[in-house]
Structure 1
Amino acid sequence: MNVTIAYIEEPPFGWTDYDGVPKGADLELANTVLRAIGITQIEHRLTTFSELLPGVEAGRWDMNVPLFVTPERAGLVAFSLPVWAISDGFLIRAGNLKGLRSYASLAERPDARLGIIAGQVQHQSAKEAGVADEQIVIFEEQAEAIEAVRSEAIDAYASTALGNRILAERIGDSVVAVDHEAREYGDYHVPVGAFSFNKSNTSLINAVNGQLRSYLGSQMHRATMAKYGLTNREIDPAVVRRADVEL
């Protein structure tokens, strides 16, 4: 049986390596789970974030790499059990001259501009924190947002805190990652991410969830994710909260 999984360029979750081979934490997790349920052929399809949900909904591929679970998205696709829980953060120029530490702090600076990838949950989070529409610049690709930070076209790029830390390490001294200030509701309410599928693909959904139940949180799972920078902080909330997600 062949399964095609779509991914985007977003280290450490997924990226195309120098040799053209797709790699990343989410892709390795997917490969491990799919092989364990008997899938012998796995194809990886590079796409854009805005095409992930429409693509799997239309049947152009079988599943997507994990993305944040929201009620709106759950109306379009079926989500697996959650596989990680990650808070937001900023990628900013070194020095952080405007003191940007959270969406709220950016909202207090009318001169600050925030870059966000079209369709990502960070857009709604920023608006709920008071960031004005005129402060937000929408990009289709992560590389465009990163270049805008480096060229000073925007002051910050919002994405996952973990992803931005990896980006900052790769880019070097010109940018830094800023984890958002801790929220009062605690780590176990940080948004969770999950694989997504066409709602009619029940056999694949059930098989993947069955394997995730036995694999997530295991010693092997934690060791594998640690290679990409995911720690117990990102794994434990997802393991605890998986029963809260409607499947």
Structure 2
Amino acid sequence: MKATIAYIEEPPFGWTESNQATGADIELAEAVLRAIGATHIEHHLTTFSELLPGVEAGRWDMNVPLFVTPERASKVAFSVPVWAIGDGFLVRAGNPKGLNSYASLAERNDARLGIIAGQVQHESARASGVSEDQIVIFEEQSDAIDALRSGKIDAYASTAVGNRVLAGRIGGSVLEAIEHDTGTDDKQALPTGAFSFNKNNGRLLKAVNEQLRLYLGSPDHRIGMSKFGITYKEIDPVLVREAKLT
């Protein structure tokens, strides 16, 4: 069995290192695919905006996890959720404009927010009052980071855990990760991410789901994810939700 998975450059979930795909989502996909009989796994680097159209058109078999939304679910089939993660900002060290949520950014007309095209953070920002004039769209994460470092934008919106990893890699004296102040401790409300498939590829989806239900939350899974900064905070909420559904 051969399987091709598409990914994007977005540590800690997926990135290219020494011409090889690596990351938390890549490692999870490989563990699951091998368990269901895949003997050859290929990785296809693409952009975020091409993930859904690519798998929908059958150019590859599955995508790395992305946030599940009704609009996306109308185009592709999602697996069971594999993580639950809130949003956060990456800002310049010291957070000069005191940005700790979309609402706080919306209150400052001089604040500019960087977002990757097509990601859910765009709608979340708009729903919190951030105007389109305050939003700068990028195709690649690296471009957004460059804009942040140069001062063209004041914050980059992505997942809180992803921003923590980026800040650690770049250095705390340059950039700082800010987890959003949501005013609630309800972890069950966090948005979830899942692998996605062509809707006609039900056989692969079924096999992946069966293995995910066996593997998620296991010692091997937790140890593997911890290497990338994915902990019980991101894993346990989806296990609780899945348990309630079964």
Cα distance between partner residues in 2 of 1:65 and 1:157: 21
Runs of 5+ consecutive residues of structure 1 not aligned to the other structure: none
CA deviation profile, 1:82-126 (whole Å, cap 9, x unmatched): 000000000000111111000000000011000000000000000
Q: How far is 1:152 from its partner?
A: 0.1
Structure 2 letter corresponding to 1:219: P
Cα distance between partner residues in 2 of 1:35 and 1:102: 40
Corresponding residue for 2:46? 47
CA deviation profile, 1:176-226 (whole Å, cap 9, x unmatched): 000001342611110000000000000000000000001001111111100
Q: How far is 1:244 from its partner?
A: 7.5
**SS at structure 1 position matched to 2:60:** coil
Structure 1 letter corresponding to 2:150: S
Query: Does structure 1 residue 4 correspond to structure 2 residue 32?
Result: no
Map 1:1-247; keep pairs closer than 5 Å.
1-17=1-17, 19-172=18-171, 173-184=173-184, 186-242=186-242
Cα distance between partner residues in 1 of 2:40 and 2:242: 28
Cα distance between partner residues in 2 of 1:69 and 1:243: 18
Structure 2 letter corresponding to 1:26: D
Taking structure 1 as the reference length, what is the TM-score of the superposition? Answer: 0.97
Structure 2 letter corresponding to 1:138: I
Structure 2 letter corresponding to 1:98: K
Cα distance between partner residues in 2 of 1:105 and 1:68: 23
CA contact (8 A) 2:6 2:62 kept: yes
CA contact (8 A) 2:101 2:182 kept: no
**SS at structure 1 position matched to 2:80:** strand
Q: How far is 1:160 from its partner?
A: 0.2
CA contact (8 A) 2:115 2:156 kept: yes
Structure 1 runs, 4 residues or longer, greater than 4 Å off: none
Runs of 5+ consecutive residues of structure 2 not aligned to the other structure: none
Cα distance between partner residues in 1 of 2:37 and 2:128: 45
Aligned length: 244
Alpha carbons of 1:146 and 1:64: their partners in 2 closer, same or farther (altered >3 Å)? same
Alpha carbons of 1:127 and 1:69: their partners in 2 closer, same or farther (altered >3 Å)? same
Q: How far is 1:169 from its partner?
A: 0.5
Structure 1 letter corresponding to 2:132: D
Cα distance between partner residues in 1 of 2:183 and 2:58: 38
Structure 2 letter corresponding to 1:137: V
Taking structure 2 as the reference length, what is the TM-score of the superposition? Answer: 0.97
Structure 1 letter corresponding to 2:16: T
Cα distance between partner residues in 2 of 1:22 and 1:244: 34
